[in-house]
Amino acid sequence: MKKNTVLLKTGIIGSVIAALCCFTPILVILLGAVGLSSLIGYLDFVLLPALALFICITIYAIARKSKG
């Protein structure tokens, strides 16, 4: 039972962090401050698949929890 809870927490926390970084300029400001602003163009290639992955993990954990 503990595995389902950890999986659900991982999915939810990862989804929230990826969504915050996708839809707010948190990473743009952070990368600009650090001096890595050349990476801003590649953020969509990393963040959108990460968001999709964490949403799938959350859905999978909820489905497993409802079956058990």
18-64 pLDDT tens trace: 888 877 788 888 888 999 888 888 888 888 899 899 999 999 988 88
Residue span of the structural domain in which 17 resides: 2-67
Instruction: Give the total number of structural domains in the chain.
Output: 1
Instruction: Supply the pLDDT for residue 21.
Output: 81
Residue 24 main-chain phi, psi, to 5 deg: -125, 155
Tell me the C-alpha distance between 13 and 26, whole Å.
16
Its pTM stands at: 0.79
Instruction: Supply the pLDDT for residue 68.
Output: 66
